[in-house]
Structure 1
C-alpha cells in the first residue's frame, strides 16, 4: 500500500502472485529437475544426517594441528607439575600429593602416545617420581 496524503491510502501496485508452499517464487522447470525432483528430496533428507555424523567423526579424530595442540597441552601439564616438584625439592618441602599428581599426569599421557622416545622419557620421569616417593615414605617412617 502507498500512503498518498493525510487521509488516503492507495494501492501502489497490483496484487502479488501467490507463492508456492515451499516459499519459492518464480522458478523455471527443466527436464532434469522435473524428472529427479523426488530423488533430490530423498538425498537432501539423508544428507543432513550424514553431515552430522561426518562432523562428529571429524571432531573425534581431529587434524594433525589439533592433535599437536592436545599433545602440547598435556606436555605443559606435566612440565608444570615437574616445575612444582623442582621447587619443592629445592626448598626441601616436597609433598607426596605433588608426586601423585605427576604420576597421574604421566599415566594420562601414556594412554595417548605411540612414540617410543616419549615412552622412554615418561619411564624415566615415572622412575624418578617413584624414587622420590620412596624417600618421602622412608623419612616419614623415621620421624
Structure 2
C-alpha cells in the first residue's frame, strides 16, 4: 500500500526529465514541471476488514466435527481418570474440575446429528458423575 502525502511517498519525475551533468555530481530534478497530484480518498480498508472477519466467522463443517470429536475424547479421558481415581481411592479435586471443564465444552453442536447424540450421551454421563462427586 502506498501513502501519498506530506509524510508518505510522492510521485517523482521520471529519470528522463532529470538534468544530467557530465561531472557526476548530484543534481536535483527539474521542479518546474508539474507533479501529479492525487485527490484524498476515503480509506476502503473498513469494508475489507469486515469481509475478512465475516469469512473467519464461517466455520468449516469438517473442522467443527474434528473439534467436537476431540472434545468428546477429552471428556471420555477425564471420565476414565475419574474411574481410575475412584478405584484406587485417590479422588482428586483437579479431576472433578477437569470434568466440569469437559462438561462445559460438550455443550456446542457439531452439525452432525449422529455425533451430537453421542456427545449428548457423554455429556449426560459427565453430569451424572459430577452430581455423584458433589454428594461425596
In the TM superposition, what is the alpha-carbon distance from 1:67 to its structure 2 partner? 1.5
Q: TM-score, normalised by structure 2?
A: 0.53
Q: TM-score, normalised by structure 1?
A: 0.51
Q: Secondary structure at the match of 1:113?
A: coil
| Gaps in structure 2 of 5+ consecutive residues | 1-13, 18-34
Structure 2 CA distance for partners of 1:120 and 1:87, relative to 1, 3 Å: closer
Q: Secondary structure at the match of 2:87?
A: helix
- Residue 83 of structure 1 corresponds to 80
Structure 2 CA distance for partners of 1:68 and 1:17, relative to 1, 3 Å: farther
CA contact (8 A) 1:82 1:102 kept: yes
RMSD across aligned positions (CA): 3.3
Q: Which has more helix, going by share of residues? A: 1
1:49-91 deviations in Å (ceiling 9; x for gaps) = 3222121122223211331233234234323322321321232
2:125 matched to 1:124? Answer: yes
- Residue 104 of structure 1 corresponds to 101
CA contact (8 A) 2:75 2:103 kept: yes
In the TM superposition, what is the alpha-carbon distance from 1:45 to its structure 2 partner? 4.6
- Residue 15 of structure 2 corresponds to 16
- Residue 27 of structure 2 corresponds to none
Greater relative CO, 1 or 2 (CA 8 Å, sep 6+): 2
Q: Structure 1: how far apart are the matches of 2:89 and 2:76?
A: 19
Q: Write the mapping of 1:1-143 to structure 2, written as runs, cut at 5 A.
A: 16-17=15-16, 45-46=43-44, 48-110=45-107, 112-113=108-109, 117=117, 118-134=119-135, 137=136
